[in-house]
Amino acid sequence: MRYISTRGEAPALGFEDVLLTGLAADGGLYVPESLPHFSLEEIRSWRGLSYSELAFNVMYPFVDDAIPADDFRKMLDETYSVFSHKAVAPLVQLDTNEWVMELFRGPTLAFKDFALQLLGRLLDYVLEKRKQHVVIMGATSGDTGSAAIEGCRRCEHVDIFILHPYERVSEVQRRQMTTVKGENIHNIAVRGNFDDCQRMVKESFGNQSFLGGKTQLAAVNSINWARIMAQIVYYFQASLALGGPDRSMAFSVPTGNFGDIFAGYLAKKMGLPISQLVIATNRNDILHRFMSGNKYEQHQLEHTLSPSMDIMVSSNFERLLFDLHGRDGQAVKKLLEDAAKGPVSIEDYRWRHARKLFDSDAVDDKSTCDTIREIHEQNEYLLDPHTAIGVRAARNCRRDSSVPMITLGTAHPAKFPDAVAESGVTVKPQLPAHMADLFEREERYTVLDNNIAGVQEFISKHWKNA
Ligand SMILES: *Cc1c(COP(=O)(O)O)cnc(C)c1O
């Protein structure tokens, strides 16, 4: 499989290079040149497969020439055996035809484990083969960082530097990052917000001279194609569990950087019958505003009860814009350069097409709390604030009650005890056993100013062979 950039000017790459590159040289994101397409008959034949067998079938076309099939199978078996539920992504029923898919049974209790447990293994496999080393630099609003650190802690050929906004992630999230031991793990708390962190990472990828040419950066944010790829699988899993592909499904996806829902869009293009995809945002609602009014405009960042979705711009949205523009990289480049300066719109017929693909809703903190409380009262089931936004948006946007509506459960409620308390539910969500002593573990992190030179100097001094 070949991968091309959404801005049309960077060279096409194979899977291995895309894995290691992150952002394309022209500032774009890599996408597959073409998508595999599965017939209903083929998808039907996957009923009853284990999660990792299904993952192999869905993902191998993207990987094929880079990794022998047996090695990839083994990697997937290892990746999904660390999840704490045999079904890996179990479904919980909320109401008639209404479900939550629990994607938080991995080591760090958020859906990001699905991709990052795999990414760590993929990176080490490829780097071992190439006798190469990389420095991972990533920004996190909370969950990416811990999942990336957990996914890469045993990698021999990787140093990992994670930037998080100082005092802007929940204590559980912070501790999950800062208590992991390992010479190759470095946590940086930046005196700024998530977008400041993300900007520094983007700029560093654009100019890596601070590393002195001795190593290169690799990305763990969802600009890395491998993350999107791994997230396609669970859409197939949910559908097969509920009678697909012989009936279509609706999904509601708590959305920040547009990675998780973009994976759902791809699943649909690959042949999975999906009749509705709901973009569920919090008050950082650039995507909802675009979907409702064809205006793509940055607003001030709001801090909400769902911090993992607190973003001003959604980086993966570029991948959708590329498709909406008939894969014309020049048009995407121009649009995003304009968008950096002020509000932009796209041609009306393109926007109407986007509205056929997605519904959207923005849910504020009050409504998030109401939903947590309501579901707890009705089902004795605790939602985390991100999943609650998904459930609320699913109910608000639902079109056809005969179609199963599946909300992606993106995090475990114990990661966000403050939001649960604020909702008025008095039951305290409990951390699973493997994390029960999280608050006693020793933390390690460095606080740095919101200044790229200082951050780059820290990295250049602290990676393994510096
Ligand atoms: C990352 C994250 C999201 C947003 O996912 P995107 O792929 O960035 O849209 C939602 N909920 C939780 C809990 C997350 O960690």
Residue in 113, 198, 309 to alter for ligand 1 test, most ligand atoms within 8 A of Cβ: 309
* Catalytic residue (one of 112, 202, 268, 415): 112
* Contact in structure between 408 and 395 (CB atoms under 8 Å): no
The string over 138-149, giving b where at least 16 C-beta atoms fall within 10 Å of a residue's C-beta and e elsewhere, is bbbbbbbbbbbb
Ligand 1 proximity of 259 Cβ (cutoff 6 Å)? yes
Decide: helix, strand or coil at residue 107. coil
Look up the pTM and report it: 0.95
Report the helix count and the strand count for the chain, using DSSP H and E.
Answer: 18, 14
Distance (Å) from CA 109 to ligand 1 centroid: 12
Alpha carbons 178 and 175: distance in angstroms, whole number: 5
How many structural domains does the chain have?
A: 1
Alpha carbons 224 and 148: distance in angstroms, whole number: 12
Say what angle helices 452-462 and 194-206 make with each other, to 10 degrees. Answer: 60
Ligand 1 proximity of 254 Cβ (cutoff 6 Å)? yes
Nearest CA to 358 out of 444, 441, 262 is that of: 262
End-to-end CA distance of the chain: 35
Within-domain flag for 47: no
Q: Which atom of ligand 1 is nearest to the CA of 143?
A: 15
Query: Which residues constitute the domain of residue 242?
Result: 88-110+227-422
Is residue 112 part of the annotated active site? The answer reads yes
Distance (Å) from CA 211 to ligand 1 centroid: 30
The string over 240-270, giving b where at least 16 C-beta atoms fall within 10 Å of a residue's C-beta and e elsewhere, is bbbebbeebbbbbbbbbbbbbbbbbbbbbeb
For 321, what's the count of Cα atoms within 13 Å in the CB-facing half-sphere?
Answer: 30
Q: Which atom of ligand 1 is nearest to the CA of 410?
A: 13
Distance (Å) from CA 461 to ligand 1 centroid: 31
Q: Which atom of ligand 1 is nearest to the CA of 258?
A: 9
Within-domain flag for 358: yes
Dump the DSSP string for 321-382.
Answer: HHHHTTT-HHHHHHHHHHHTTS-B---HHHHHHHHHH-EEEE--HHHHHHHHHHHHHHHS-P
Within-domain flag for 433: no
Within-domain flag for 410: yes
Within-domain flag for 241: yes
Distance (Å) from CA 275 to ligand 1 centroid: 22
Ligand 1 proximity of 308 Cβ (cutoff 6 Å)? yes
Within-domain flag for 354: yes
Ligand 1 proximity of 31 Cβ (cutoff 6 Å)? no
Within-domain flag for 150: no
Distance (Å) from CA 45 to ligand 1 centroid: 31
Ligand 1: which residue has its CA nearest to atom 8? Answer: 257
Distance (Å) from CA 210 to ligand 1 centroid: 30
Residues ≥6 apart with Cβ < 8 Å to 350: 324, 325
The CATH number given to whatever domain includes residue 332 is 3.40.50.1100
Within-domain flag for 102: yes
Ligand 1: which residue has its CA nearest to atom 2? Answer: 308
Q: Which amino acid is at 114?
A: F
Ligand 1 proximity of 309 Cβ (cutoff 6 Å)? yes
pLDDT in tens, the chain (466 residues): 999 999 999 999 999 999 998 788 898 999 999 999 999 999 999 999 999 999 999 999 999 889 999 999 999 999 999 999 999 999 999 999 999 999 999 999 999 999 999 999 999 999 999 999 999 999 987 788 999 999 999 899 999 999 999 998 888 889 999 999 999 999 999 999 888 998 999 899 889 999 998 899 998 888 899 999 999 999 999 999 999 999 999 999 999 999 999 999 999 999 999 999 999 999 999 999 999 999 999 999 898 999 889 888 888 999 999 999 999 999 999 999 999 899 999 999 999 999 999 999 999 999 999 999 999 999 999 999 999 999 999 999 999 999 999 999 999 999 999 999 999 999 999 999 888 899 999 999 999 999 999 999 999 999 987 6
